[in-house]
Amino acid sequence: MDKKITYKLTVRLFTEEKCFGPGVAMLLHQVQELHSLRAAAASLSMAYSKAWTILKNAERLMNCKLLHSTAGGRNGGGAALTEEAVALLVAYDGFCKELSAYGEQIFDEKFAYFIDKL
């Protein structure tokens, strides 16, 4: 059996407490795609109440509104990301991508002996 040494790098943002991370980012990406917080939550096998709580906590801690939402009814409801939410996702995704690329480089340098040994 081949063994492989790996690592996992996860980015979480903090103010007084954790306010943004991969879970919030995934939820926002799903809202962006599905135009609904309820549908986004369902697509992630998450209760709507949990998704709502996660977003409200992120908004409170980041001190910015992340979603514009309209209630259901004859024309149906929906949700869209605010400009701040889009900018936050772009910054977060870009930071994660660059950090991951740099992390790969450092990992290969620092653990070359162990990578080659396995």
Say whether 10 sits in a helix, a strand or coil. coil
| CATH code of the domain in which 84 resides | 1.10.10.10
The total domain count for the chain is 1
Q: What is the pLDDT of residue 89?
A: 97
Report how far apart the first and last C-alpha atoms of the chain are (Å, whole number): 10
pLDDT in tens, the chain (118 residues): 577 888 999 999 999 899 999 999 999 999 999 999 999 999 999 999 999 999 999 999 999 999 998 776 556 678 999 999 999 999 999 999 999 999 999 999 999 888 877 6
Q: What is the pLDDT of residue 75?
A: 63
For residue 94, give its domain range.
15-70+77-113
In a domain, 5, yes or no: no
pTM: 0.87
Q: Which amino acid is at 51?
A: A
Residue 51 placed within a domain: yes
- The answer to the question of residue 3 being in a domain is no
Does residue 118 fall inside a structural domain?
Answer: no
